[in-house]
Amino acid sequence: MELVIYILLITTSVVGLAFIVERGLALRWNKVVPPEVTAAVNSCQTHEDVPMLKRVCQQHDSPLSRLLLLAAEHLSWPKTENVDAIQTRARRELVKLERGLVVLEIIVGIAPLLGLVGTIIGMMTVFSDVGHAGLNDAAKLAQGIALILRATLIGLMIAIPSLIFWSYYTKKIEILAVEMETLCDEFVRRQYREEKR
């Protein structure tokens, strides 16, 4: 039974590490908010500049690019409808960015619990042995307790880095979302202001 707990702990650590690396690569700033797209938004002042922005967005596929392409394609719509369409797409893009974070959150919860289950199973085994053999060898008892506490330690060592990265990625997604919202808002306001003139 202890072996099963250790296998589960190792599996949990491997899954956690895979998601930490995958989200680290997916949430790079340049991949979500490419500097080329940011520069294109800043230089897109009039309706004549929109085709240039579209070209840059198509060349640099990213969540921000997809939002800006949607906004640019719907400039003929009323502003409120365009903004609603952007917000709907933005929610979908955020869900994609958050993909995998729920796995890290689950690992933060279950790793210490698996470690605790391993400790309890180990304690039951040690005290069962003590019940049969008596307390003749205190060194053997101490060695058994040290061995079973290892499961709790492993569980905590899996949960702590997972919690750190989950918190970091959650905050980073929040910052990326604010940046994308700001850039899309600037683009839309500028284009509809130009239209009024």
**CB 58, CB 69: distance < 8 Å:** yes
Instruction: Say how many residues make up the chain.
Output: 197
- What pLDDT does 31 receive? 96
Mean pLDDT score, 77-82: 93
- What pLDDT does 118 receive? 86
Distances in Å between the Cα of 89 and the Cα atoms of 28, 134, 137 are 20, 68, 67
**CB 71, CB 37: distance < 8 Å:** no
Mean pLDDT score, 142-162: 87
DSSP 60: S
Instruction: Tell me how far apart the terminal alpha carbons of the chain are, to the nearest angstrom.
Output: 75
Dist. CA 55–CA 37, nearest whole Å: 10
Asked if residue 67 has pLDDT above 90, the reply is yes
Q: Which two tokens stand for residue 190?
A: 């500028």
Dist. CA 187–CA 57, nearest whole Å: 13
- What pLDDT does 4 receive? 87
Q: What is the rounded average pLDDT for all residues in the chain?
A: 90
| Reported confidence tier of residue 185, pLDDT bands at 50, 70, 90 | very high
Q: Residue type at 101?
A: L
120 or 110: which carries more pLDDT confidence? 110
* Percent of the chain scoring above 90 in pLDDT: 72
Dist. CA 154–CA 4, nearest whole Å: 14
Residue among 95, 85, 22, 103 nearest 63 (CA): 95
Mean pLDDT score, 93-105: 95
**CB 183, CB 68: distance < 8 Å:** yes
**CB 19, CB 111: distance < 8 Å:** no
DSSP 99: T
